[in-house]
């Protein structure tokens, strides 16, 4: 019997049962009272009993037919789930039924037979056919993806950085609340679909931003220091443009994240100004100054040092070059390296005397005060030497020695030519008288 016919019969029986109950209730309401009702009481009781019996029979038949339909549907659903999990050796129940459930069961049986033939043709084993696991994995991946998107959306909205999602044509797809506030907008609809370059950045940075967007579309991440179209003209932002790829690895959009670096920028400018000030002092210092990093890279070589030694900066770009050119003596090299080791331990060396060979191969003697160079965190990152040329001192010493030598070679003056004091004259007179008495 067709499933539709069964359902119609069930509905008809339920309707008849309802009519019987209604008829019985009507008889009870319209039944006469008193002695005249004695003859009709028996008839009414029989009618009521018959109605209840018909109701019970109809309910039993309806429940039986309904169970028959739902049971086979549940069994068919169980068979389909087994097939989805890779079980191809099951039997589809209900194929012998003449109703729609039987037709559905026979159709699934044909699908199962075709699937078995396809599996045998391509050589896939039953254990390798993980249809159910694949579906479950796909559903789980979709669920995790939606959860991740929701988390990312929450993070984007609560982030202190300006976050913008841009399509491949440079149009804004999304901007978080921080970005709206920085650019002076209240509603996200005011920026959706607008060109991000002209909307968000100052004119002087448009070229760099367009280049960064093009690079991001090709898969390259770029970081720029830019200024936004905001009321504060002194604010600086560090903007990073990164490609956003789909599951196939294709770039679909660009993620732009901007962070306010105005305090850092101000600190950097102050440090740069201080550095330039110190360099200016060193450049015009009255003594030669030379400094190398801990890794041997040239930091400072002021013009006075270059004039004194005759070298160019390209000749002494590393500490190794400086030692090889200016200090070719083994003993002097060992002495300098020992002093540098003490400097890197935090000590300071004063009056360090060492010979230097100039570029023209002449030799000079210098005395240096060597101190360490420290980073803002207090780490020793290099050594700096303030020198004084001792050559003039040695020349002056030689001149003094030559003058002393010339003075000793001259004859001493005669005694008569030296003027004597009155006391000395009286002493000599007394000595002469004593000699005469003797």
pLDDT of 308-319, one tens digit each? 999 999 999 999
Residues 6+ apart with CB under 8 A from 238: 223, 224, 225, 258, 259, 261
Mean pLDDT of the chain: 76
Higher pLDDT, 148 or 435: 148
d(CA 325, CA 359): 8
User: What's the pLDDT tens digit per position in 103-143?
Assistant: 777 887 787 777 777 666 665 554 455 555 655 666 777 78
What separation in angstroms does the CA of 411 have from each of 42, 415, 419, 435? 181, 12, 18, 31
Backbone angles phi, psi at 347, to 5 degrees: -90, 165
Looking at CATH, the fold of the domain delimited by 160-260 is given as Beta-Lactamase (3.30.450)
Q: Given this model, what pLDDT does residue 48 score?
A: 59
Q: Which tens digits make up the pLDDT trace of 192-213?
A: 999 998 888 888 999 999 999 9
Q: For residues 82 and 92, give the distance between their C-alpha atoms in angstroms, rounded to a whole number.
A: 10
pLDDT at residue number 16: 65
Number of CB atoms found within 10 A of residue 152's CB? 11
Portions of the chain given CATH number 1.10.287: 3-28+46-122
Strand partners, 18: none
Domain 273-394: CATH architecture, name and number where available: 2-Layer Sandwich (3.30)
Residue range 348-366: mean pLDDT, rounded: 91
pLDDT at 420 over 50: no
Q: What CATH number matches the domain at 3-28+46-122, 3.30.2290, 1.10.3470, 1.10.760, 1.10.287?
A: 1.10.287
Q: Which residues of 254-273 are buried (b: 16+ CB within 10 A; e: fewer)?
A: bbbbbebbeeebeeeeeeee
**382: which 2 tokens?**
């290099």
Confidence of residue 253 (pLDDT cuts 50, 70, 90): very high
- Condensed to tens digits (0 to 9), the pLDDT of residues 35-56 reads 444 445 555 556 556 666 666 7
Q: Are 98 and 2 in contact (CB under 8 A)?
A: yes
Asked if residues 173 and 186 have their Cβ atoms less than 8 Å apart, the reply is: no
Structure tokens at 46: 């029989």
Phi first, then psi, for residue 157 (nearest 5°) are -70, -30
CA distance 386 to 176: 55
* Edge-first strand listing for the sheet containing 222-226: 172-175, 162-167, 251-260, 237-245, 222-226
pLDDT band per the 50, 70, 90 thresholds, residue 385: very high
pLDDT above 90 as % of the chain: 26
pLDDT digits (tens, 9 = 90+) for 280-317: 777 777 889 999 999 999 988 999 999 999 999 999 99
List, by residue range, all CATH 3.30.450.20 domains of the chain. Answer: 160-260, 273-394
């Amino acid at each position: 019997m067709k499933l539709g016919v069964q359902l119609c019969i069930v509905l008809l029986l339920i309707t008849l049962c309802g009519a019987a109950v209604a008829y019985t209730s009507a008889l009870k309401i319209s039944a006469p009272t008193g002695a005249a009702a004695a003859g009709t009481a028996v008839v009414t009781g029989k009618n009521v009993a018959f109605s209840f019996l018909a109701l019970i029979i109809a309910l039993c038949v309806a429940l039986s037919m309904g169970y028959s339909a739902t049971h086979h549907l549940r069994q068919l659903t169980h068979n389909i789930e087994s097939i989805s999990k890779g079980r191809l050796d099951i039997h589809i129940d209900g194929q012998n039924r003449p109703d729609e459930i039987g037709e559905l069961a026979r159709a699934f049986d044909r699908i199962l037979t075709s699937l078995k033939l396809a599996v045998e043709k391509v050589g896939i084993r039953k254990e390798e056919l993980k249809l159910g696991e694949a579906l479950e994995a796909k559903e789980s991946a979709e669920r995790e993806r939606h959860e991740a998107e929701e988390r990312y959306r929450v993070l984007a909205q609560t982030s202190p950085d300006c976050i913008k999602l841009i399509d491949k044509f440079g149009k804004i797809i999304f901007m978080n609340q921080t970005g709206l506030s920085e650019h002076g907008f209240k509603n996200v609809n005011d920026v959706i679909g607008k060109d991000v370059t002209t909307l968000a950045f100052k004119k002087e940075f448009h070229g760099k931003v367009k280049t960064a967007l093009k690079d991001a579309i090709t898969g390259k991440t770029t970081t720029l220091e830019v200024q936004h179209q905001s009321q504060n003209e002194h604010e600086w932002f560090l903007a990073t443009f990164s490609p956003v790829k789909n599951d196939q690895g294709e770039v679909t959009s660009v993620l732009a994240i901007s962070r306010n670096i105005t305090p850092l920028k101000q600190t950097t400018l102050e440090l740069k100004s201080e550095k330039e000030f110190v360099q200016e002092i060193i450049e015009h210092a009255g003594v030669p100054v030379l400094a190398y990093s801990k890794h041997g890279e040239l930091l400072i070589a002021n013009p006075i040092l270059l004039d004194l030694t005759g070298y160019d900066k390209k000749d002494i770009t590393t500490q190794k070059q400086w030692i090889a050119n200016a200090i070719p003596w083994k003993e002097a090299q060992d002495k300098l390296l020992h002093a540098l080791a003490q400097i890197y331990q935090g000590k300071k060396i004063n009056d360090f005397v060492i010979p230097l060979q100039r570029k023209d191969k002449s030799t000079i003697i210098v005395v240096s005060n060597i101190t360490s160079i420290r980073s803002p965190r207090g780490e020793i990152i290099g050594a700096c030497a303030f020198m004084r040329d001792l050559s003039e001192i040695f020349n002056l010493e030689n001149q003094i020695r030559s003058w002393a030598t010339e003075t000793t070679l001259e004859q001493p003056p005669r005694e008569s030519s030296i003027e004597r004091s009155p006391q000395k004259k009286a002493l000599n007179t007394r000595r002469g008288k004593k000699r005469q008495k003797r």
